[in-house]
Structure 1
Amino acid sequence: MTSLTPIKELFANDIYRRIEEVIKVDQTDEQLIRDEIAEYVVTDAIAAHYSHIFRSYDETPNKPHEGIAVWVSGFFGSGKSSFAKMLGLSIENRTILGEPAAERFAERTDDNELRVLLKQITERIPTHAVIFDVSTDRGIRSGNQTLTEIMYALLLQSLGYAKDLDLSELEIGLEEQGKLEEFEAEYHRLFNKHWSKEKGKVAFALSEASRVLHSLDPATYPSADSWVKAVKNKADISPGKLAERAGELMRRRKPGETLMFVVDEVGQFVARDVQKMLDLQAIVQSLGVRGRGKHWVVVTSQETLRDIVSGLDGMRTELARLQDRFPLQVHLEPSDISEVTSRRVLRKNAAAEASLGALFDEHRGRLTELSRLSAEIRLPDLTRDAFVELYPLLPYQIDLIIQIVSGLRTQGGVSKHVGGANRTIIKLAQQLLINPAVNLAEQALGEFVRLDQVYDLVEGNVGSELRAKISGIAKELQHPLAQPVAKVICLLQYVKSVHRTAENVAAALYPRIGADSQLAAVKEALRELESARKVRLSSSRKVRL
């Protein structure tokens, strides 16, 4: 490879392939699920977490216990949704386009213990998984549903019952009496429609079911609306009843199988709400006590369970037991994102690895000096391996982007499409290469990602006032670096641990291997920005827009 080789020729995988930005745990498109499994990266740390859970799950038939809950935590982008989804799909061993999910998942790791455990589980513990995002599966009856109600409704739906509580109670009762098939046949005779397809249209289904019952049993239901008047919104569910029904309905519809709930974004749902936390505690306790290892619950949260409980000062005693109810706690670390990003998007072919290694060896000293950031935390070192794996990104840029994306998400009015940082960083890494606004893929070997280019891709999530201010700088000021400097300052304002100094701005704008220091030009641009009152310089030499 030469200095004229375009960056797009460095990669082992097609850099232009489609990469989904947001993981949907309840995705049902089998092709998308297959692609997600095929691209899922199992780092050593992630494999260790899976093995720990698999060991506990595998032991349950011989040692029944109440410790059936898994708490998966991690900041935006740690991959917790993907982790939980793959856990549910692999243990259930769902068939995806004719292939067992467990086998596909096992291919993603070289960890022999993990593969053996998963094989034992799929052979010995058939499992039915109910996988959903609690932040999107609300409003079955009202917007104020409890977690118990949501979990029960989705369990019902997964087992083929109506999602509506009143209709499902009717089906369960008729099934117990051996009359459900008769009801469905009469429904078809009266309406020339199939009950299984129509019961989701709740408003119509309630009145139609009432008419069917009147037709079948006029003595008990003397008019066509007798049943619907008597029962509408009367059905109720509690954590204890959820556990009872889980056992009963699984025996009817999935005999011999273990039940696993995978509930994404529980931390966001409970949101330090004491009543919701107590509801979660009661659910896990009831399922554990009644199921004795037959009913499992996996939840995800940005925060660790310890942090959530400690934040509810007045209820620490009541909620202390909640931690005991989650004996399996997994915390996914930021360090995995660099590895996931390098393996998913930036993995190099053999020729590129050799060329980049030689390039680093030649320029190591000057490159390290001119791209170094000063910060209150230790940033990843610029090593030969890290350079080769992450190029055209520099190792510290992954950490920086994580913090920027998290900061953008926590500001008011941010677009939901910022997504979790794991998907966003993977997507950003790809877009920095192929998006026409940056298009590094077509640039020559040696060019780096600059932080102002990251701004160009996340600009839509920056506040409108700040965005307008930065947009106008190119027209108002002459210095060619004035606007890029402002873009870098804007993003660094979301990264509290990195100092907003001229030196750091210059490092963030370092353009290519062999280039001169940007510091003098950055200082000139800052003077022009300060004179135009576009930035303010504090006594600690930090700049702010």
Structure 2
Amino acid sequence: MNIESIFTKDINRPINGVIKADQRDKAYNELEEYVITKEVDRHLRQFVNAFLQGIDSRNDAEVSARMGVWVSGFFGSGKSHFIKILSYLLANDAVTEDGKPDRVPLDFFIEKAAGDSAFQGDLRRMANAQTEVILFNIDSKAEQNHSRDAILQVFLKVFNEHLGYCGDHPEVAHMERFLDGKGKFQAFIDVLAADHNLDWRAERDSYQFYGSEVAAALSKVLSQRIEDPQAWIDNLDKGLALTIENFAKWVRQYLDQSGGAKRLVFLADEVGQFIGGQSQLMLNLQTITENLGTVCDGRAWVVVTSQEDIEAVVGGAFEKDRSKDFSKIQGRFTTRLSLSGANADEVIQRRLLEKAPAAQDALKALFREKGDILRNQITFRDSGITLRSFGDADGFVECYPFAPYQFLLVQKIFEASRQFGATGGHLSKGERSMLDAFQTAAKAIKDKPIGALVPLDAFYPAIESFLEGVVRTAIGRVENIADRSDFDARVLKTLFLIRYVEEVPANIDNLVTFFVDEVDADKRALRSEIEQSLLRLERETLISRNGDLYFFLTNEERDINKEIKDQDYSQADLNRLLGDVIFEDVLRDRRYRHAANGKDFDLTRLIDLTPFGNRVEGSLILSVLTPLAPDFGTFNDARCIELSVDGSVGQVVVKLRDDQKLSDECPPSAPMAQI
């Protein structure tokens, strides 16, 4: 039985791990596979309660002014996915998929809420509330150089598109709205098609090129002579100014025309990033939310997402103006849902890692036999966070072929890489997800037998194409190592992955754990391979070492380290530095007191047979031999003891441990700064 065969669902199947607001063709799959974790369940109930309260308090002006929902959460927490699933449930339009019966989104949620009849009733009531939704990513809909009214412009654009009007040209949409209000819009479209063979919806963005055709069609449907359609549109535009009040009025008119019970929900993704530190945009959003609620009697809602909570966004926007009353802005978004992504492991386990019955039995048997070995394989030293090992057989089955610590660590790797600029904009906008990363890593070992585990470097391909070019270039330099092994690139990638995760020190013990790729992995052999790779990578200035910690070097850091390495030094410089470390930092005493008679004796200190400091006549000699001493190998333990007990000399010879790292870093021609 290999890894590929142990899962309930095909590990190779396409999984929509990237949530895009404008993609609707995967609705059935998204609803079917959506996992309602404990955190999501809590927030879903909070939203449903708020929405139903809005229905029940339709004529309450105070409640209507608070029809805003603020959904926050850092990258990868699932906030975009959450509001998209909400949009399906609110609209409750039938979804289809080949080979499966059509279903409405409510059906999926009723199944997921099985056993809770009260909540099922609330879900039914919300789903049947005649709601239309407009889901969009605000940055993708905005003009590149947005103005102070940028948020209003985007809201009007998506609203116009929802009604079938022109989105890119508000003045054209004004004309279409005017014609629609008179019941002439479809007639206008039909006249252009019949008399001029012109498809209005396809050509309206370039309407200026069809002035005569548009003029003729307008004249015909309005029964008035219009010679200059541009002047007519401009004049109409002046009477329909783009203001928040007018926008709210147009939304109200649409809702009234659609029926008194109709509701409209705007779901805007990544609003917090769009606002940034611009106070005017935050005020824009607050006023839109307030006016929509009051003018539409609580039938229009605004749901937004942000990587920061509302207090942080408002505080950042008004950092220089503390005279503003933040409470009014925050009061428009009384429903605040903060997603932490804490249950990412649950989502991955249920969507990706559920095991077939036979595989569950085989894995439990494996854990009974080798559970103690597994616990010892996954250990960490000096970690600032809790990186879990395998606990029991059930936990092993749920996580396999991943180790429990990887769910938390990979999430931190994604977040840290984005935060410190190691990845481009695509990753920061969610082009890759945790789910995608784990699927990629699982597929990398799908042909291996049960007992194989996923090492940490298997997650690197999930973000490789989104890394900044300088990072990929730095990692690609491993190919220039003449005596490289296949292990070198893996070590370098692992060091990059944890480069910005400060809580996880990159010592050899931890690196060995990251490379455990099977239950019975030989950690001693792994350690040896890793140590050799680290020496080669450090020699090529691809990594640096500080004590027992290793660090991936960016291009700038690499250049600095190369300059340091190129500094020349003499043997005297080396002895002086070694002497400073040994005699000034470690062995600081310059006199020795004899225990028997209490007399003090001066010490003459030697470092690698060379005097350190002044030589005192008649003093005792303390001679320290380092691995860098000439003929160090000839000073075996017996010879050092013989020299120390020679009564005619009066000396003590201390031979330091032969540390290969020191010898490799400081060969006779090596720069002093490498020590």
Question: Normalised by the size of structure 1, how large is the TM-score?
Answer: 0.89
Residue 114 of structure 1 deviates from its aligned partner by: 3.5
**Equivalent runs, 1:103-502 vs 2, <5 Å:** 103-110=107-114, 112=116, 113-123=118-128, 125-139=129-143, 144=147, 146-163=150-167, 164-193=169-198, 195=200, 198-199=203-204, 201-204=206-209, 208-215=213-220, 221-223=226-228, 225-228=230-233, 230=235, 236-253=241-258, 255-312=260-317, 313-315=319-321, 317-373=324-380, 374-380=382-388, 382-384=390-392, 385-410=394-419, 412=421, 414-418=423-427, 424-434=433-443, 439-473=444-478, 475-478=481-484, 481-502=487-508
Return the index of the structure with the highest Cα Rg: 2
47 and 110 in structure 1: CA distance in 2 versus 1, 3 angstrom threshold: farther
117 and 507 in structure 1: CA distance in 2 versus 1, 3 angstrom threshold: same
Residue 224 of structure 1 deviates from its aligned partner by: 5.3
2-side partners of 1:470 and 1:307: how far apart?
A: 36
Partner of 1:59: 53
Give the residue type in structure 1 aligned to 2:450.
L
> What CA deviation, in whole Å up to 9, does each residue of 1:167-195 have, x standing for no partner?
22223323334444554454344323454
1:247 aligned counterpart, secondary structure:
helix
Query: Is 61-70 or 211-220 further displaced after alignment?
Result: 211-220
Alignment gaps of 5+ in structure 2: 97-101, 554-675
1-side partners of 2:383 and 2:207: how far apart?
A: 57
Partner of 2:518: 512
2-side partners of 1:402 and 1:491: how far apart?
A: 11
268 and 293 in structure 1: CA distance in 2 versus 1, 3 angstrom threshold: same
2-side partners of 1:308 and 1:333: how far apart?
A: 17
**Equivalent runs, 1:41-120 vs 2, <5 Å:** 41-64=35-58, 65-66=63-64, 67-97=66-96, 98-110=102-114, 112=116, 113-120=118-125
Residue 24 of structure 1 deviates from its aligned partner by: 1.3
RMSD: 2.8
Partner of 2:564: none
Partner residue of 1:34 out of 4, 28, 47? 28
Matched, 1:529 2:533: no
User: What number of residue pairs does the alignment pair up?
Assistant: 533
330 and 454 in structure 1: CA distance in 2 versus 1, 3 angstrom threshold: same
200 and 47 in structure 1: CA distance in 2 versus 1, 3 angstrom threshold: farther
1:311 aligned counterpart, secondary structure:
helix
2-side partners of 1:381 and 1:206: how far apart?
A: 71
8 Å Cα contact 1:166/1:233 also seen in 2: no
Give the residue type in structure 2 aligned to 1:34.
Y
Higher RCO (CA-CA < 8 Å; seq separation 6+): 1
2-side partners of 1:314 and 1:243: how far apart?
A: 30
Residue 335 of structure 1 deviates from its aligned partner by: 1.7
393 and 208 in structure 1: CA distance in 2 versus 1, 3 angstrom threshold: farther
2-side partners of 1:197 and 1:166: how far apart?
A: 17
Query: Is 444-453 or 20-29 further displaced after alignment?
Result: 20-29
220 and 193 in structure 1: CA distance in 2 versus 1, 3 angstrom threshold: closer
272 and 476 in structure 1: CA distance in 2 versus 1, 3 angstrom threshold: farther
370 and 52 in structure 1: CA distance in 2 versus 1, 3 angstrom threshold: same
173 and 460 in structure 1: CA distance in 2 versus 1, 3 angstrom threshold: closer
Partner of 2:574: none
255 and 364 in structure 1: CA distance in 2 versus 1, 3 angstrom threshold: same
2-side partners of 1:207 and 1:432: how far apart?
A: 61
1:355 aligned counterpart, secondary structure:
helix
Question: Normalised by the size of structure 2, how large is the TM-score?
Answer: 0.73
Percent of aligned positions with the same letter in both sequences? Answer: 26
Residue 197 of structure 1 deviates from its aligned partner by: 5.3
